[in-house]
Structures are given as structure tokens and as C-alpha cells.
Amino acid sequence: MKTSPWPMLATLFRIFLVPLIIVLMMAEVSYWNWLCAFLFILASITDWLDGYLARKLNSVSTMGKFLDPVADKILISSVLIMLIPIGRIEAIAVLVLINRDVIIGGLRSIAASKGEVIAAGSLGKWKTAVQMVAIPCLLISEVFLFVPLATIGYWGVWLSLVLSVVSGFQYLVAFWNQSSNAIA
């Protein structure tokens, strides 16, 4: 049975949007903040879309399972890093978020090499959802219709950091339990 290319194209589109978002952020043209936020939201929607299409079209692939979270990390990490020099978020928050993802990615790789899967927990999914709301707010970083987007984005990233640390601990426990069960 031939698999559909649409889920993979959605994932690749997310990756290809990242350089465009970064270039627009570097230009520091105020109204381009809205365009950056729009492109980030569009890329975030492809995160949902690729999974939906893979299930709907029965096109779940090993490459898709690998590339989907990688695309998420490329998108979120790249934009968070670029928000540091323009003063929208502190480096320590970005460092903790990125390092947690690297550690969890390593644990998942070790588990996968043993034929085990450490599934994404609900807190990890909430972390990503909060980031995908907070980051566009930080990109716009204005008051819009009396809504302080910069403040919402700033505290949203810190909330995602708390969720990230707690869910990272859950991954460590799950990994430890699976490793302990394999030994016993």
C-alpha cells in the first residue's frame, strides 16, 4: 500500500517556514511582527495537520514519527533563540526549554534503540500548546484591543518552562521504570 505524501509535506512546510520567520524577525520592521506571528501560527497549525492527515490517510510512517517532533523543536527553538537578542525573553528560560528537549530526545532515542516507546505525556503536549500561543504574543509584543500580548507571551513562556520541567521529570520516571522493568 502506498502512503500519502501530504503528512510529510505538512511537516516539511513547517521546517521551511522557519528561515523565513527568522529573516523577518531580524529585519526588525514593526509591522512585520504580525507577519512573523502569522507565519508561526501557520507553522504551528501544520503540527496538528500532519498528524491529522497521517491518521486520516493511514499514512503514519517511521520518518514522519521522527521528523514531526524534530520540526517542532526546530520551529520553537529557533524562534525562542531569536527572541533573546531583541529582549522579549531571558536566555535562561530558552536554555532550560532547549536542554530539557535535548535530554528527553536522548532518552527517547535510548528507549527506541531497545524497541521501547516513551509516549508524549499530556503535560508535554500542554507545554507545546502553551508555547504555540505564547510565542506569537511575544512576536507581536504590542497591546492589541487592550490585550497586553507581550505580557501574555512572557508569562506563557515561563508557564511552558514549568510544564516542561515537570513533564521532563515524568519522562525520566517513565524511562527509569521501563529500564528497571527490562532489567528485572
Residue 103 included in any domain? yes
Mean pLDDT of 107-130: 82
Residue 137 in contact with residue 155, Cβ under 8 Å? no
Q: What are phi and psi of 147, to 5 degrees?
A: -100, 120
3-state class (DSSP) for residue 178: helix
Cα-Cα end-to-end distance for the chain: 40
Residue 26 included in any domain? yes
Task: With a cut of 70, say whether residue 182 has pLDDT above it.
Answer: no
The predicted pLDDT at position 183 comes to 52
- The domain in which residue 142 lies consists of 6-183
Owner of C-alpha cell 531583541:
86
Query: pLDDT > 90: what percent of the chain?
Result: 51
pTM (2 d.p.): 0.87
Residue 172: all three cell numbers together = 525520566
Owner of C-alpha cell 502512503:
3
Residue 132 included in any domain? yes
Looking at per-residue pLDDT, the higher value among 174 and 43 belongs to 43
The predicted pLDDT at position 115 comes to 78
Burial class (CB in 10 A: 0-12, 13-18, 19+), 92: exposed
Residue 1 included in any domain? no
pLDDT tens for 144-154 read 788 899 999 99
The predicted pLDDT at position 1 comes to 54
The DSSP code sequence of 109-167 is HHHHHTT---PPPHHHHHHHHHHHHHHHHHHH-SEETTEEHHHHHHHHHHHHHHHHHHH
C-alpha–C-alpha distance, residues 81 and 90, integer Å = 9
The predicted pLDDT at position 60 comes to 78
Looking at per-residue pLDDT, the higher value among 162 and 49 belongs to 162
Longest dimension (CA), the chain: 59
The predicted pLDDT at position 121 comes to 76
C-alpha–C-alpha distance, residues 169 and 95, integer Å = 17
Number of structural domains found in the chain: 1
Task: With a cut of 70, say whether residue 65 has pLDDT above it.
Answer: yes
Task: With a cut of 70, say whether residue 74 has pLDDT above it.
Answer: yes
3-state class (DSSP) for residue 58: coil
* Chain mean pLDDT for the chain: 88
Burial class (CB in 10 A: 0-12, 13-18, 19+), 72: buried
pLDDT tens for 2-16 read 678 888 899 999 999
Q: What's the pLDDT band for 110 if we cut at 50, 70, 90?
A: confident
CATH number, position 152: 1.20.120.1760
The predicted pLDDT at position 89 comes to 95
